[in-house]
Structure 1
Amino acid sequence: MSQIESLFATRLYRAKLSEHGDPIDQSELEASCWAIANDDEAGQTWCEENAYPGYTSYASLSDLPWRFPIFGDLVAALDKHVAAFVEDLEFDLDGQSLVLEDIWINILPEGGTHAAHIHPHSVISGTTYVAMPEGASAIKYEDPRHPMMMAAPPRRKDARRELKSFVYVAPDVGDVLLWESWLRHEVPMNMSEDERISVSFNYKWA
């Protein structure tokens, strides 16, 4: 009898941020994101010079937990989510752990996009969602085997989710998504009139 099995799984972790640690006040987190964005002149300048839509603190700030205590609470919760994902991935960390490498704010206005990219030099990357107004874009993940699919025909529109070339995930406020950092992803155009706000992060092997 023939047998077909799936090999080399690409895992995606999704959970409510509140599953680990004390609940995070999302309204306070959103207010903190805006306060930082409004005061971060270096970040605003970087965004203008690099034609980055909206605002990101990625290139300007590395001390969010020091600036606002709620980011310290957020990192404490994220540490637990990442630890749970590491267990699922069955990593052998040789007695070490994954630690936060960087964390930054993203504020994407109407019409803004974030082009497809990966996060080199990190192990786990992720995002937690602070404001997702109606019409805000999902996150789009790309099959990492694309460079090897030289002559492969396209998948049917009704293909099983694990066989699709691209997968869209529409998160809710308070969700956290985690994936291995080599997984290519992007944020399509924000079709909402309001800003899409998220906090992204990388974890490295200490």
Structure 2
Amino acid sequence: MSRTTPLFVTPLYRARLADHAPAVDADELAASCFSIAEDDEAGQQWCEDNDFPGYTSYASLTDLPWRFSIFADVVKALDAHVAAFAEDLAFDLGDKKLRLEDIWINILPEGGIHTSHLHPHSVISGTTYVAMPADTSAIRFEDPRLPMMMAAPGRLKDAPDSLRNFVYAKPQVGDVLLWESWLRHEVPMNMSEDERVSVSFNYAWG
């Protein structure tokens, strides 16, 4: 009897930020993101210079947990989530830990997109979601084998997620998504009139 065995799994971790302490007030986190964006002139200028839609603190504020206590609480919770995901991945970390490398705010307005990219210098990347309007865009993940599939037929519309070339994950406010940093992903155009707000981050090893 024949048997098909899945190989080389691409894992995606999904949980609620509140599953690990300390508790983070969602309204306070959202208000902090908007307040920081309003005051961050360097970040605003970077977005303007680089035609970046909306706002990101990626190129301007590298010390959010030090500046704002609510982000210190977010990081404490994320540390626990990342440790759990690393265990799921069977990582042999030796005597080194996965540590936060970067954390930044994203505010995506109507019509804004984050084009396809990956995070090559990190081990685990992820996002926690602060504001997700009902009709805003999901995050799209790309099968890392796709460039090698030049002659392959397409997949059926009802193919399971594990066999799709692209998978859309629609998170809710308070969710945390984690993935290995080599996984290519993007945020399609925000079709909502309201802003889509998230906090993204990278963890490195050692």
Q: TM-score range by the shorter chain?
A: over 0.9
2:71 aligned partner = 71
1:105-158, Cα deviation, whole Å (9 max, x unpaired): 000000100000000110000000000011111000000001111211111111
> What does 1:5-20 align with in structure 2 at a 5 Å threshold?
5-20=5-20
Aligned residue pair count: 206
> What does 1:132-151 align with in structure 2 at a 5 Å threshold?
132-151=132-151
Superposition TM-score, scaled by structure 2 size: 0.99
Superposition TM-score, scaled by structure 1 size: 0.99
1:105 aligned partner = 105
Comparing 106-115 with 154-163, greater Cα deviation is found at 154-163
> What does 1:166-205 align with in structure 2 at a 5 Å threshold?
166-205=166-205
Letter in 1 for 2:99: V
Q: CA RMSD in A?
A: 0.6
Runs of 5+ consecutive residues of structure 2 not aligned to the other structure: none
2:164 aligned partner = 164
% identity of equivalent residues? 71
Confirm or deny that 1:54 pairs with 2:80. Answer: no
Task: State the secondary structure of the residue aligned to 1:24.
Answer: coil
**Cα distance in 2 between the residues matched to 1:121 and 1:45:** 25
- Give 1:25 deviation, angstroms: 0.2
- Give 1:73 deviation, angstroms: 0.2
Confirm or deny that 1:29 pairs with 2:29. Answer: yes
Comparing 155-164 with 165-174, greater Cα deviation is found at 155-164
- Give 1:22 deviation, angstroms: 2.2
Moved beyond 4 Å, runs of 4+: none
Letter in 2 for 1:161: D
- Give 1:96 deviation, angstroms: 1.3
Task: State the secondary structure of the residue aligned to 1:192.
Answer: coil
1:148-198, Cα deviation, whole Å (9 max, x unpaired): 112111111111111000000000000000000000000001111110000
Runs of 5+ consecutive residues of structure 1 not aligned to the other structure: none
**Cα distance in 2 between the residues matched to 1:148 and 1:94:** 33
Comparing 193-202 with 59-68, greater Cα deviation is found at 59-68
**Cα distance in 1 between the residues matched to 2:147 and 2:95:** 34
Letter in 2 for 1:30: A
Contact 2:190 2:196 in 1 (8 A): yes
**Cα distance in 2 between the residues matched to 1:205 and 1:156:** 38
1:80 aligned partner = 80
- Give 1:89 deviation, angstroms: 0.1
> What does 1:108-127 align with in structure 2 at a 5 Å threshold?
108-127=108-127
- Give 1:7 deviation, angstroms: 0.2
Task: State the secondary structure of the residue aligned to 1:137.
Answer: coil
**Cα distance in 1 between the residues matched to 2:28 and 2:155:** 43
